[in-house]
Structure 1
């Protein structure tokens, strides 16, 4: 009797393994909110925090295999997201170090995974990095410093459309 149990167990275990891995690696579809962004000017020395919401719109598990940036000045925090279950949203966090550039900059971020059409998506952003001026700070600059030192700074990225620190398409009217 125990010998029969072992034979059945040996026959069933590989079958269970293949069934459980059936959907792993299959392609899915994704949607990235605002993959082309134009950020407002930032002062050299500041860090620009960038968050891209990524929604898995397919029926299979989204597996992010690799993240590549066009510049060493962009740090990807890929520790918080590797897989996104179907119909869920994950957030890709990046930090752009403005110390390494001055003037107009344009960068790309490449995400590789098991999504259609070619297992790669390109995210773009640009901004103007301006040098700091030596003058007394006005109300807006002081307010921005207070805002940045707030522990709830992450909540600002998910605010109303008009509160985003970037725009898409043509520059908005002032």
Structure 2
């Protein structure tokens, strides 16, 4: 059985959602970043962490990729053009959406107070909205990669929820509808209601 270590209000939500989609058994162990247990498994103190047996895997995208590849779901096979397209979209989301949100978060609470630059958030909000508009131009169906729900959809939807919580505006109606559709998935709702 897998163990998911982290807080469901963090990127650990992505892992819990993927496991629900996969129908795999898991134990959820709520932990805050930098707790003693987290730091013992990941020296950076970051969450989430997935334990598979005695092995601890950090980083939400690495965990998602591992689970999808291992179970042959939520992904296209490695070495295929569809997988290359999926990976390209995934990296775009990480570079242009997730990283922008994380930069804003660092300047809100993660950095030492004397190093925070609150005024940077306005430019990050502009960048986020622009990047969402560009990304939505790539959508090829009900999911990011056509008719197949993948880990890229999990990451993007989580980022959309994060942005909403952080008051990052976007007027992109296609993105709003996309996120609404993804949040309607039974696996998403099970994690939300945990």
Please tell me the TM-score bracket, short chain as reference: under 0.3
Higher strand share: 1
Q: TM-score, normalised by structure 2?
A: 0.23
Higher RCO (CA < 8 A, seq sep 6+): 1
- Return the index of the structure with the highest Cα Rg: 1
